[in-house]
Each structure stands twice: as structure tokens, then as C-alpha cells.
């Protein structure tokens, strides 16, 4: 009788451990599991970094917009660099390689 009881205990223990292992596996690989939460956390960190860089770009663009609205020299600089405009009394030298 004692041997039978011990055998039932070991079977119950084995089944319990297998069930626990299965539950741990499901917790990791399920779509709402631990791995998914980790991936989402990493994605959130990346999105926050992207957001910071976009905020910085927005600040620089607003600053440039304000300069173009108020500062004549900044408008002249853009006209010279991007539109290749010159003043009437200036000469342009083009270096050909």
C-alpha cells in the first residue's frame, strides 16, 4: 500500500511539474505573454526616441521660419545658396573640376 501511495505521489508531482512547465511556456509565447510585453516595451522606447528627435527638428524648423519672416540676411542667405542669386554688382566664379 505504501508503494502505491508513493507512486501516486510521484505521478501527481510529475503531472504538476509538467502543467507548471506548460503554463510557463504559454506565458512566454502567447501573444499577450512576457516576450510580447518585452517587444512592446522596446518599441515604446524607440518611439520615445523618435519623438524626441522630431521635437528637435520641429524646434529648428520653427526657428528657421521665424528667421525667414523677420531677418533679411537669412532670406538673402537662402537666396544665394539655394536659388543661386547674386547682387547686381557681384561677380560669380564657378570652379570646374
Identify the sign of the CA torsion 12, 14, 17, 19.
negative
Interhelix angle for 34-70 vs 72-83, to 10°?
110
Write the pLDDT tens digit of every residue in 49-73: 999 999 999 999 999 999 989 998 8
Write the pLDDT tens digit of every residue in 17-58: 998 888 888 777 777 777 788 889 999 999 999 999 999 999
The model's pTM is 0.53
Amino acid at each position: 500500500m505504501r508503494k502505491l501511495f508513493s507512486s501516486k505521489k510521484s505521478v501527481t508531482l510529475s503531472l504538476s511539474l509538467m502543467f507548471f512547465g506548460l503554463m510557463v511556456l504559454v506565458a512566454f509565447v502567447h501573444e499577450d505573454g512576457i516576450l510580447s510585453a518585452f517587444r512592446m516595451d522596446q518599441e515604446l522606447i524607440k518611439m520615445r526616441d523618435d519623438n524626441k528627435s522630431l521635437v528637435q527638428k520641429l524646434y529648428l524648423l520653427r526657428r528657421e521660419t521665424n528667421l525667414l519672416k523677420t531677418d533679411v540676411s537669412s532670406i538673402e542667405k537662402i537666396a544665394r545658396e539655394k536659388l543661386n542669386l547674386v547682387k547686381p554688382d557681384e561677380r560669380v566664379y564657378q570652379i570646374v573640376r
